[in-house]
Structure 1
Amino acid sequence: MWVAHYDWMHVNITLVGGSDGLVMVDSHGSAAQARIVADDVRRLGAGPLTALVNTHEHWDHHFGNATMVEQFGEMPVHATEWARDHVEESAQRTFEDFEQRVDDPRREEVLATTLHLPDRTFSSAVQLDLGDRAVELIHPGRGHTAGDLVVRVPDADVIVGGDLVEESDPPFIGDDSWPLEWPGTLDLVVGLMTDDTIVVPGHGKVVDKDFVQDQRIELGIIAETIRDLASRGVPESQALDVGEWPWERERLVSAVRLGYAHLPRGQKRLPMA
């Protein structure tokens, strides 16, 4: 197995090798960057690229798909059913965003992207056969998105976590995240680990089980704080000011909004006067 860390967005691209070829996990955020990744694969000389895996539908993890197919030939592209069904919608939001970024040096290369959608999907788990190695794709639940997957390579004791785990910054809780469910999803991921498991995050340095458990605790504090505030009748508009949070408040705007929206009616009280 090999992990390449790229400075733009601190993205990680992982290769899993077997006797039948290489599987690439994620493909970066533009055709131009993906060509650099493709050159790195060739220089590695570890075998042909035979499949792609997209950990979720966000652009920085799949905008290189078309380039990989152009460079290495047709190959299956794996993702969860949810991710596949929401790639185009998510990409459109990205294109609209970059249209407005007239001073962004990456604007033109992102807008020049050609989408290549996943064509092999699953809902819960699937196993890829690399000849002498089995690779497991697992959807552990909703968290960063509703369609996250992790890649488990049992014989190497490695898990590729996508953006369920991030090292370069706290995990990004965006408008399509599930902050109340994310801690439980990470519990399932941790359950796939041994004490020696190596974990590749979507962004940042390679980490271990302890790091993932610590991140799960922080996400759990966020979820429980939202539940506590809502149960005490603190209105959403005041939650960021009233709560004691493990991260900077500006990172938690979407978390609070979505957390309040996702709570069952029975777990909310009428706002305090």
Structure 2
Amino acid sequence: MAKAFASTNDMEDKKISFTEVGRDLYAFTAEGDPNTGVIIGDDSVMIIDAQATPRLANMVVEKVRSVTDKPISHVVLTHYHAVRVLGASAYGASQVIMSEKARSMVVERGQEDWDSEFGRFPRLFQGHESIPGLTWPTTTFNKRMSVYLGKRRVDLMHLGRAHTAGDIVAYVGDENVMFTGDIVEYHSACYCGDGHFHDWPKTIEAIRSWDVDAIAPGRGDALVGKEMVNAALDNTSDFVRSTYLPAARVALRGGSLKEAWDAVRAECDPKFGDYAIYEHCLPFNVSRAYDEALDVDTPRIWTAERDLDMWNKLQG
């Protein structure tokens, strides 16, 4: 029997947690749904990743208001994916920040990504009628920039390609805490459909070199303490490699995408089969791994039509 497409059967509300990962630093998490970070400065608040709709973003705002009445001045978007960015208008921030590469990806594929993700995640797009349109940054940068919330400094950095070509992290040095977006996950499948498998482990090692005390990952529980941080870094790298290598071996000997799918399942199912959104991600991951092995450097744009065609070929 064919599996229901992507996450269309996942309609149960998730339990929300709001975990302090450092002084005045929080991770809004919901059992494998997209996370949001909160950085409270001396005079204002920065949000890291906005959620998919203003309705969901308002749930973050409610948690923020439980700990501070300072205004939300900045929204930082770690990459361009619709489930991360389309709720940005709810925060009323004067500054919306992306990497320059992420903005270019909104130009190139933002509407297609919105249409694609809308079909994949119906629960996350409840209240989609209130989305005013594509989210555009007011400020972009290439490698690094610093934002000051009073005396509290937040360093925004592009450490390398991983989940997308334009990923950034946010580092708060006074507490040695990093917000990584989907470069790092915890007991949730990595979505690799727009990823760069060769670069991703190197980018994780760049994060490891900061020796942080806590990470707010893209999905899954907040990672507090170096032991938990390093375990998550190791696990994410293992997921990426375990997906890519079997698919690449098949592609490079001239095998089919379906053969690559079978090889990746054999490697990954025993280790990651119970992770959040695993079955959802796997066809997209295998398709991208197969392409990258054949030197397709820029991920092909996912459309709602391409999603369903690929799903029926692999999960059907």
Structure 1 and Structure 2 fold alike (TM over 0.5)? yes
Contact preservation (8 Å) 1:99, 1:111: no
Contact preservation (8 Å) 1:19, 1:132: yes
Counterpart of 2:236 in structure 1 is 215
Structure 1 gap segments, 5+ residues each: 265-273
Counterpart of 1:133 in structure 2 is 152
Q: Which secondary structure state, in structure 2, belongs to the residue aligned with residue 240 of structure 1?
A: helix
Contact preservation (8 Å) 1:165, 1:201: yes
Counterpart of 1:124 in structure 2 is 143
Q: Which secondary structure state, in structure 2, belongs to the residue aligned with residue 218 of structure 1?
A: helix
Contact preservation (8 Å) 2:260, 2:286: no
Counterpart of 2:46 in structure 1 is 23
TM-score by length of 1: 0.81
Contact preservation (8 Å) 1:226, 1:259: no
Query: Within 5 A, what are the aligned runs for 1:178-197?
Result: 178-194=196-212, 197=213
Q: CA deviation at 1:100?
A: 5.8
Q: CA deviation at 1:209?
A: 2.2
Q: Which secondary structure state, in structure 1, belongs to the residue aligned with residue 267 of structure 2?
A: coil
Q: How big is the alpha-carbon RMSD for the aligned residues of Structure 1 and Structure 2?
A: 2.8
Q: CA deviation at 1:180?
A: 2.2
Amino acid at match of 2:27: V
Amino acid at match of 2:255: P
User: Structure 1 residues 154, 59: closer, same or farther in 2, change over 3 A?
Assistant: same
Counterpart of 2:255 in structure 1 is 235
Q: Which secondary structure state, in structure 1, belongs to the residue aligned with residue 294 of structure 2?
A: helix
TM-score by length of 2: 0.71
Q: CA deviation at 1:148?
A: 0.7
Amino acid at match of 1:204: G
State percent identity of aligned pairs: 24
Contact preservation (8 Å) 1:198, 1:209: no
User: Structure 1 residues 97, 76: closer, same or farther in 2, change over 3 A?
Assistant: same
User: Structure 1 residues 6, 227: closer, same or farther in 2, change over 3 A?
Assistant: closer
Q: Which secondary structure state, in structure 2, belongs to the residue aligned with residue 136 of structure 1?
A: strand
Cα distance in 2 for partners of 1:178, 1:85 equals: 17
Contact preservation (8 Å) 2:55, 2:126: no
Answer yes or no: is 1:54 the counterpart of 2:77: yes
Structure 2 gap segments, 5+ residues each: 1-24, 224-228, 298-316
Cα distance in 1 for partners of 2:83, 2:118 equals: 16
User: Structure 1 residues 90, 111: closer, same or farther in 2, change over 3 A?
Assistant: farther
Contact preservation (8 Å) 2:156, 2:168: yes
User: Structure 1 residues 172, 129: closer, same or farther in 2, change over 3 A?
Assistant: same
Answer yes or no: is 1:32 the counterpart of 2:55: yes
Contact preservation (8 Å) 2:244, 2:286: no
Counterpart of 1:198 in structure 2 is 214
Q: CA deviation at 1:140?
A: 1.2
Cα distance in 2 for partners of 1:239, 1:4 equals: 36
Counterpart of 2:35 in structure 1 is 12
Cα distance in 1 for partners of 2:53, 2:44 equals: 24
Amino acid at match of 2:293: Y
Answer yes or no: is 1:169 the counterpart of 2:185: no
Cα distance in 2 for partners of 1:258, 1:17 equals: 41
Contact preservation (8 Å) 2:83, 2:124: no
Q: Deviations over 1:188-208 (max 9, x none)?
A: 1111224xx211111110122
Q: CA deviation at 1:170?
A: 1.7
Q: CA deviation at 1:214?
A: 2.5
